[in-house]
Amino acid sequence: MNSTAKPTPPPTVFSPVQLGALTLPNRILMAPLTRCRAEAGNVPGPLNAEYYGQRASAGLIIAEATSVSPRGFGYPNTPGIFTEAQVAGWKLVTNRVHAAGGRMFLQLWHVGRISHPSYQPNGDLPIAPSAIVARGKVFTGTAMADYVTPRALELSEIPAIIEEYRHGARLAREAGFDGVEIHNANGYLLDQFLRDGTNTRTDRYGGSVANRARLSLEVTEAVVSVWGADRVGIRLSPGGVFNDMQDSNPLETFGHLLRELSPMGLAYAHITRVTAQDIAHGARDGVGPKELRSQFRGPVITAGGFGLKSGNQALAEGWADAIAYGVPFLANPDLPKRFKTGAPLNSPDESTFYAPGAKGYTDYPAL
């Protein structure tokens, strides 16, 4: 008798997946979402623990961007990971998520030039690879103000920046996370070094693609030295223009970085896709995970306006291994269950995205 083996069906968002050291029960990940609800001292509190605990059915929660340095802030009431009080606050969160059966990575962040003296120690200028001002406005905590021209980092200062990421990674371990994601996207410090629109340096951190990618790779090596590569991910936004970003050849730039990262054996690369909103703001389509998938040997997470159907399509086409959902998870704490049962989704209240308190944060109903 001849039997023909049935082809293996493609994975769906409900399929388990291995990301580095973690076996996830589904591929519906919670994207990192800035919510501006940390307590005094940039410390997470019980409200943050409740919010993340409600969303523990995600295959993996990637916590909101969290500053590794007192100089790394550019928004009000965002969390940090450089003091013992912040570690204690994050322990409340990870304990709640783990008690609910979830897994959680912390996103390590430094905003670089996307800041203002009102956020900086001693009212200093924000730091950046080069003294190039970002177009746009920043909320200082009391009013909207133009971004200021940042101060270009001296070559001698860069090792200390790398150490801030290493220290943040170490404290994330103390706080009970399952791993960390390096925020190398969205126009913040590492992205500023990587792209030639914001990096005009002439030393070993500027000029060629290899030089501009150097800080990203050195930070990744530092974080891997703490966690091991199989508990470290990295987020990239190759087509993004948020925070006044551009690069003359993003496929070359990000392709180089992904090829250099591949031998490290990271848990994943989190590569955002270009959305219609990005294109309306000047982004170029054709620069995203689909085009860059072949440059990275490990698992790829993608994000950017996905629903259930489009998420499954990306998995079936093979250019992503998991989907990170942002606003849908914000408004639907039980998003995997709603997807599975076909239940309607809650509507997000945009007026509460960055507002203080429980409203629009922990009060979205579950089924």
**Residues assigned a catalytic role:** 188
**What is the enclosing helix (H) or strand (E) of 56?**
none
Nearest-angstrom CA–CA distance, 62 and 225: 20
User: What phi and psi, each to the nearest 5 degrees, are found at residue 105?
Assistant: -105, 150
- Quote the strand ranges of the chain, DSSP E: 17-19, 22-24, 28-30, 61-67, 104-109, 127-128, 137-139, 144-146, 151-152, 179-183, 232-236, 268-272, 300-303, 322-325
CA angle 21, 24, 26 (to 5 degrees): 160
Nearest-angstrom CA–CA distance, 188 and 111: 4
The amino acid sitting at 277 is Q
End-to-end CA distance of the chain: 50
Nearest-angstrom CA–CA distance, 119 and 194: 24
Nearest-angstrom CA–CA distance, 331 and 78: 20
Whether 153 contacts 189, CB under 8 Å:
no
Burial string for 210-219 (b: 16+ CB within 10 Å, else e) reads ebbbbbbebb
Whether 35 contacts 334, CB under 8 Å:
no
Helix, strand and coil content of the chain, in percent to the nearest 5, comes to: 35, 15, 50
User: What phi and psi, each to the nearest 5 degrees, are found at residue 158?
Assistant: -65, -40
Whether 278 contacts 245, CB under 8 Å:
no
Instruction: Work out the number of other CB atoms within 10 angstroms of the CB of residue 275.
Output: 18
